[in-house]
Amino acid sequence: MTTPVLAPAVPHRADRRLDAAWLAGVCSGLAVHLNWPVLVLRVGFVLLSASMGVGVIVYLVLWLALPLAAESPRAPGLEAARRGGLRTVQGPSRVPADLGAMSAVVLLGTGLLWFAQSAGFGLPSAALWPALIGTTGLMLIWWQADHIPTRSMKGLTGMRRWFAPLIAHWSRIVRILLGLLGLGTAVGLIVVQLPEMSETSRTLLVLAIVVFTLLLAAAPWIIRVRRSLTAVREEKMLADARADMAAHLHDSVLQTLALIQRQASDPKAVSSLARRQERELRAWLYGETAETGTVKAALVTAAAEIEDDHGVDVEIVVVGDRDLDQELRSLVQAAREAMVNAARHAGVDKVDVYAELDEGTVEVFVRDRGAGFSLDEVPADRMGVRGSIVERLRRAGGSATIRSAPGEGTEVRLEMKR
């Protein structure tokens, strides 16, 4: 049984991360996407801003263009437990902003702005103030749009539905009003400075500016509505996939129950059936989305097969992961052989497997607390240990160490440098 992989419907793209944001999370989102240090991006935007405010404009465009980081889909069991109130989920914790770096960047920005203005290649001073005030107002409003939760709006009707998020806290109204005031001031300053023209065209121009400003201020909400339509469609597709999956699983549970009834006289078969079913259900309900073609996936599959074939519990813990290649395939094979040996000869019902993969080494430990054996007494014709574990691994460029003594259990340690 493979855990269903609920792939996101869209390929990976940049998004904004509010949990590490100073402002709108554009830089922190881009940093994750490009795998650059976030401070470099922040300083870059500040530098760009000094040349006629290009950085600010790019930032604002990205603010609108990049969606907020979406929550990755959880395993259905967890999702159901959350909806049923069986567990509390805190949102992702905010990474506290580094005040030192923040003030440094702000100072740099202010200094650059001042320098650009006084050196004469900044914005003309007539445009500077409206630009500053207007941008600040716009950011205040947009910032609000990011921080008003959509979830709490569900379940309300009529007018309340529209205003509930706003009147949830007085500071929201104040901030939005301040933002609008800023925008209004900016528009006023621009209008006052308009060159001479006929009354009609002047009125039309003012009207156009006001409408444009209002559209700009409302942009996050307009975009949000559009995105939520897409999201609803994707959710529907996911829900369908899950319903199919649930039906399939229910079928398999029914099958298992029927088999258990028929084989009720054979305790070993019953417990093996129950174990397999438990593993399937658990993997589906609470499992992480399984990858295929990695060492972890291969080890977990091997452990599951041995649980089924030999009727033992294999407790498997894997730290780190990497893609399988020819040598690592041999390592997994050797680990599997070690598990089979433990299941077959140790005479216990539990085998512990621990694998650790980091940059330099891959290590796998297979351990049982069973009968154990003396290494010298293994007859030369018993191929199990020597042939399939030690030799196989040596050919692949790794090494195997076996520690065992009669009555002490056995531990096989497989190691490979990568």
Partner 1 sequence: MTEQQNTQPEPQGAPAAWRVVIVDDHAMFRSGVKHDIGARVQVVGEGEDVPTAVAAVLKADPDVVLLDVHLPGGGGVEVLKQVHATEPEMKFLALSVSDAAEDVIGVIRAGARGYVTKSISADELVDAIGRVAEGDAVFSPRLAGFVLDAFSGSIDVAAVDEELDRLSQREREVMRLIARGYAYKEIARELFISIKTVETHVSSVLRKLQLSNRHQLTRWATDRRLV
**Residue ranges of E strands in 251-397:** 313-319, 350-357, 361-368
Among 44, 67, 77, 384, binds partner 1 (CB under 8 A): 77
Residue 156, Cα to own-chain centre: how many angstroms?
30
Distance CA(382)–CA(245), nearest Å, equals: 45
Per-residue mark of binding to partner 1, 95-114 (x: CB under 8 A): x-------------------
**Secondary structure of 186-219 in the HEC alphabet?**
HHHHHHHCCCCCCHHHHHHHHHHHHHHHHHHHHH
C-beta of 93 vs 150, nearer to partner 1: 93
365 binds partner 1 (CB under 8 A): yes
Shortest spacing between CB 89 and partner 1, in angstroms: 8
Shortest spacing between CB 72 and partner 1, in angstroms: 7
C-beta of 22 vs 129, nearer to partner 1: 22
Distance CA(80)–CA(85), nearest Å, equals: 9
Shortest spacing between CB 93 and partner 1, in angstroms: 5
359 binds partner 1 (CB under 8 A): yes
79 binds partner 1 (CB under 8 A): no
78 binds partner 1 (CB under 8 A): yes
Residue 123 has which token pair? 């914005």
Q: Which residue has the tokens 């444009």?
A: 212
Among 146, 305, 352, 415, binds partner 1 (CB under 8 A): 352
Report yes or no: 20 and 94 within 8 Å, Cβ to Cβ. Answer: yes
Q: Which residue has the tokens 């992480």?
A: 288
Residue 40 has which token pair? 């470099």
DSSP for residue 323: B
Among 5, 35, 84, 171, binds partner 1 (CB under 8 A): 84
319 binds partner 1 (CB under 8 A): yes
Shortest spacing between CB 385 and partner 1, in angstroms: 19
125 binds partner 1 (CB under 8 A): no
Candidates 141-149, 193-201, 327-335, 351-359 — which segment interacts with partner 1 by CB under 8 A? 351-359
188 binds partner 1 (CB under 8 A): no
411 binds partner 1 (CB under 8 A): yes
**Burial classification of residue 182, based on how many CB atoms lie within 10 Å of its CB (0-12 exposed, 13-18 middle, 19 or more buried):** buried
Q: Which residue has the tokens 């060492």?
A: 295
**Residue ranges of E strands in 221-305:** none
Among 11, 12, 93, 155, binds partner 1 (CB under 8 A): 93
72 binds partner 1 (CB under 8 A): yes
DSSP for residue 380: T
- CA torsion through residues 305, 310, 316, 322, sign: negative
Q: Which residue has the tokens 């989305």?
A: 289
177 binds partner 1 (CB under 8 A): no
- Edge-to-edge order in the sheet of strand 350-357: 313-319, 350-357, 361-368, 409-417, 398-405
| CA nearest to 173, candidates 137, 215, 144 | 144
C-beta of 282 vs 417, nearer to partner 1: 282
Among 13, 87, 160, 236, binds partner 1 (CB under 8 A): 87
36 binds partner 1 (CB under 8 A): no
| CA nearest to 124, candidates 197, 52, 45 | 52
Which residues are CB-contacts of 310 (< 8 A; sequence separation ≥ 6)?
A: 340, 343, 344
Q: Which residues ranging from 254 to 313 are in contact with partner 1 (CB under 8 A)?
A: 278, 282, 285-288, 313
86 binds partner 1 (CB under 8 A): yes
Among 323, 358, 387, 406, binds partner 1 (CB under 8 A): 358
Among 16, 42, 336, 367, binds partner 1 (CB under 8 A): 367
Site residues (vs partner 1, CB under 8 A): 19, 71-72, 74-75, 77-78, 81, 84-90, 92-93, 95, 278, 282, 285-288, 313, 315, 317-320, 350, 352, 354, 356, 358-359, 365, 367, 369, 411
